[in-house]
């Protein structure tokens, strides 16, 4: 019988790419999610019955244990950008990761891949960065040979970065950003998935890997690249950090008062993270150590950002028509 991998958050942005690749490798894939009925789109990734979404709440031991039964490997892709109710940074990114590793060890799971983030720091004043670091430590305490992946900003068709800002360009002539001069090293989502597969299959050793793409650019430069792709002109307005902190405080308050019905557009914790560069460090193991050549943004962004162009799918046709002679 083929081997089985359980992917926590396997229907999410990164998880679905890992699930697809693992199915192509011939593994059975168990996609552990909170809402299996919304994850049925993963089933065609493999043959009938090869990829199956199942219910799991990583805040509960019994729930996690149930989806780990019989697994040969585990991948944890669960993470949050902002807390909501019982799903706090500590509960999900620190305790949840540790629970998965502890129970995986107890059930004899051979390998684990943990999706973390560049900037994970146990001493950070950002709850996101601190809980990511605590999650890494909790995983390694139980699974010392686990692979820890720390990507920079991840881009791809379902991302919440370029898609979000491209959508904002429809609202007016100004595009506000926080930390316009901070540097990022965006990485293509399928490159992250490829790295995870190497860890699951044992083709690469465990340890911490920082993942970044071939380009290092400031936030402003990334927005300029995005605007070029979507054929729009907007004034990129850098919001000073003191102003951003006030805006984030008000945004958090509105979200709290509405009981989450009005999500925060930017949180105070996100402002703290945007004050730091988000690039691969000089002494880290990287994609190069895994034998992976990263995909450039220019090869991918036009493939999924075209709906944000003023003429959408007809933009290229209209531009080509301008060159026609009467």
Residue 258: pLDDT over 90:
no
* pTM of the entire predicted model: 0.93
CATH number at residue 93: 3.40.50.720
**181 closest CA partner among 126, 213, 224:** 224
The pLDDT value recorded for residue 314 is 61
Asked whether residue 265 is domain-assigned, the answer is no
Residues 6 or more apart whose CB falls under 8 angstroms from that of 30 comprise: 4, 5, 6, 7, 10, 52, 54, 67, 71
Asked whether residue 40 is domain-assigned, the answer is yes
Q: How many beta carbons lie within 10 A of that of residue 30, not counting itself?
A: 23
The pLDDT value recorded for residue 256 is 87
Average pLDDT over residues 255-264: 85
Residue 186: pLDDT over 60:
yes
Tokens of 254: 């509105």
CB 213 within 8 A of CB 186: yes
Least confident of 51-55, 115-119, 230-234, 262-266: 262-266
State which residues form the domain around 289: 4-157+184-214+277-295
CB 12 within 8 A of CB 18: no
Residue 172: pLDDT band (50, 70, 90) is very high
Asked whether residue 99 is domain-assigned, the answer is yes
The pLDDT value recorded for residue 318 is 66
Pairing verdict, β 187-188 and 217-218: unpaired
Q: How far is CA 145 from CA 53, 65, 74, 206, 262, in A?
A: 27, 20, 13, 5, 41
Least confident of 106-120, 201-215, 252-266: 252-266
Residue 201: pLDDT over 80:
yes
**204 closest CA partner among 291, 105, 110:** 291
Q: Number of folded domains in the chain?
A: 1
Q: Which of the 8 DSSP states describes residue 64?
A: H
Residue 319: pLDDT band (50, 70, 90) is low
Q: Report how far Cα 124 is from the mean position of its chain's Cα atoms.
A: 20
Residue 235: pLDDT over 60:
yes
Q: Detail the DSSP E strand segments found in the chain.
A: 4-8, 28-33, 51-55, 73-76, 111-115, 147-151, 154-155, 174-178, 183-184, 187-188, 207-211, 217-218, 235-239
The rounded mean pLDDT for the chain is 94
CB 219 within 8 A of CB 180: yes
The pLDDT value recorded for residue 321 is 67
Average pLDDT over residues 196-205: 97
The pLDDT value recorded for residue 265 is 87
Asked whether residue 193 is domain-assigned, the answer is yes
The pLDDT value recorded for residue 311 is 77
Tokens of 122: 């146990």
Asked whether residue 314 is domain-assigned, the answer is no
Tokens of 109: 């799971």
For the chain, give the percent of residues with pLDDT over 90. Answer: 88
Please list the helix, strand and coil fractions of the chain in percent, rounded to the nearest 5, in that order: 45, 15, 40
**220 closest CA partner among 233, 238, 232:** 238
Asked whether residue 313 is domain-assigned, the answer is no
Asked whether residue 225 is domain-assigned, the answer is no
Sheet of strand 207-211, all strands in order from the earlier edge strand to the far edge: 51-55, 28-33, 4-8, 73-76, 111-115, 147-151, 207-211
Residue 325: pLDDT over 60:
no
The pLDDT value recorded for residue 264 is 86
Residue 320: pLDDT over 70:
no
Residue 47: pLDDT over 90:
yes
Asked whether residue 317 is domain-assigned, the answer is no
Residue 69: pLDDT band (50, 70, 90) is very high
Residue 63: pLDDT over 80:
yes
The pLDDT value recorded for residue 145 is 97
The pLDDT value recorded for residue 259 is 79
**149 closest CA partner among 89, 197, 183:** 197
The pLDDT value recorded for residue 96 is 97
**168 closest CA partner among 315, 270, 274, 308:** 308
How far, in Å, CA of 91 to CA of 97, rounded?
A: 9
CB 139 within 8 A of CB 101: yes
Least confident of 20-29, 205-214, 303-312: 303-312
The pLDDT value recorded for residue 85 is 83
Give backbone dihedrals phi and psi of 96, rounded to 5 degrees, phi first.
Answer: -60, -45
The pLDDT value recorded for residue 68 is 97
């Amino acid at each position: 019988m083929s081997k089985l991998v359980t992917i926590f958050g396997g229907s999410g942005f990164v998880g679905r790419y890992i699930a697809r690749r693992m199915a192509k490798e011939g593994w059975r894939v168990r996609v552990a999610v909170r809402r299996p009925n919304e994850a049925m789109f993963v089933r065609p990734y493999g043959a009938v019955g090869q990829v199956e979404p199942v219910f799991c709440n990583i805040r509960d031991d019994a729930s996690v244990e149930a989806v780990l039964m019989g697994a040969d490997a585990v991948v944890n892709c669960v993470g949050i950008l902002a807390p909501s109710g019982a799903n706090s940074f500590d509960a999900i990114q620190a305790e949840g990761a540790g629970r998965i590793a502890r129970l995986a060890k107890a059930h004899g799971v051979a390998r684990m891949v943990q999706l973390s983030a560049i900037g994970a720091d146990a001493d950070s004043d950002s709850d996101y960065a601190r809980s990511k670091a605590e999650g890494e430590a909790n995983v390694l305490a139980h699974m010392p040979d686990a692979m820890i992946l720390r990507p920079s900003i991840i881009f791809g068709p379902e991302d919440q970065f370029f898609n979000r800002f491209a959508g904002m360009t429809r609202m007016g002539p100004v595009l506000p950003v926080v930390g316009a001069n901070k540097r990022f090293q965006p990485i293509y989502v399928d490159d992250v998935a490829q790295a995870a597969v190497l860890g699951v299959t044992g083709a690469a050793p465990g340890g911490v890997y920082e993942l970044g793409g071939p380009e290092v650019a400031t936030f402003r430069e990334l927005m300029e690249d995005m605007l070029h792709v979507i054929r729009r002109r907007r004034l990129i307005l850098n919001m000073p950090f003191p102003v951003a902190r006030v805006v984030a405080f008000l945004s958090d308050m509105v979200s709290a008062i509405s009981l989450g019905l009005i999500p925060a557009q930017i949180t105070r914790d996100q402002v703290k993270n945007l004050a730091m560069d988000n690039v691969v460090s000089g002494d880290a193991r990287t994609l190069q150590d895994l034998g992976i050549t990263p995909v450039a943004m220019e090869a991918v962004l036009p493939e999924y950002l075209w709906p944000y162009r003023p003429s959408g799918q007809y933009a290229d046709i209209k531009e080509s028509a301008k060159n026609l002679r009467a």
